[in-house]
Amino acid sequence: MSEEKQENGSASNGEVPEIELIIKASTIDGRRKGACLFCQEYFMDLYLLAELKTISLKVTTVDMQKPPPDFRTNFEATHPPILIDNGLAILENDKIERHIMKNIPGGYNLFVQDKEVATLIENLYSKLKLMLVKKDETKNNSLLAHLKKINDHLASRDTRFLTGDTMCCFDCELMPRLQHIRVAGKYFVDFEIPTHLTALWRYMYHMYQLDAFTQSCPADQDIINHYKLQQAKGDIQMLKMKKHEELETPTFTTSIPIDISE
């Protein structure tokens, strides 16, 4: 059974369009937000627009392990994220981005053109996945080098976010990936983002203060379980671990290990 949530934004008063975003539910309880990176990215994009009152945002979670009949009827084997705008369903990630940019009020302003930043954050997530699979020093160092480049970029620009002091689509793409690196990296391979990357930690601190991130962020347990399921491939032991996690109170890592007040 899917769970529907009305996210804080503009009221549905007939003056603004209601946008529905269907996202993957937790693989632990099937109700709360799951650990899908693209789901969180578009959730953040749309949440920012809802805060500006250009849209009213409705977010629906769907348990893809037991999708409800109406979801299967409407979308067959399609997996979230799915965006619905005035009855029109957009099913592919590239098309969702294009629709937000071109068809949703205010969306164009989120999609800043910056080739340097686009190149900078590209392939970061693939380095996390390689580190989790290979579990060797070389892959750790590759991820560290990439994080240092992002840190150096932030330090050189001296802005709160990637392209300036206002959030854009690149921030909505990067921050969920940083959270996965932080939570899954620590759990599986004891990887930690070095404290000397102060510009990166300052950036994460600013992101942690934003409702667009905290309201869309999955629990630590869901991020961890996301990768456990990928690694287990049906291992019966996984079912026991999942049962244990169902008993845990969801936690959210949003503190930082350095003092940024200087």
Cβ neighbours for 18, distance < 8 A, ≥ 6 positions apart: 12, 55, 56, 57, 58
Higher pLDDT: 48 or 240? It is 48
Predicted confidence (pLDDT) at residue 12 exceeds the cutoff of 70: no
Under the banding of pLDDT at 50, 70 and 90, the label for residue 1 is: very low
Cα–Cα–Cα angle for 129, 133, 134, nearest 5°?
Answer: 115
pLDDT for 6 equals 46
pLDDT for the residue numbered 49? 98
Higher pLDDT, 137 or 253: 253
Residue 244 pLDDT exceeds 80: no
User: What predicted TM-score, i.e. pTM, was given to this entire model?
Assistant: 0.91
pLDDT score at 46:
99
Tell the residue number behind the tokens 């026991």, with chain if given: 240
pLDDT at 47: 98
What pLDDT does 240 receive?
A: 58
The answer to whether 96 and 81 have CB atoms below 8 angstroms apart is yes
Taking only the tens place, the pLDDT of each residue in 225-238 is 999 998 876 555 65
Would you state the pLDDT for residue 237?
61
Domains in the chain: ranges and CATH = 3-110 (3.40.30.10), 112-262 (1.20.1050.10)
Return mean pLDDT, the chain: 91
Give the pLDDT score at 241: 59
Q: Which residues pair with 61 in a beta bridge?
A: 3, 23
Predicted confidence at residue 228, as pLDDT, reads: 94
Mean pLDDT confidence for 86-110: 97
Distance CA 181, CA 132 (A): 10
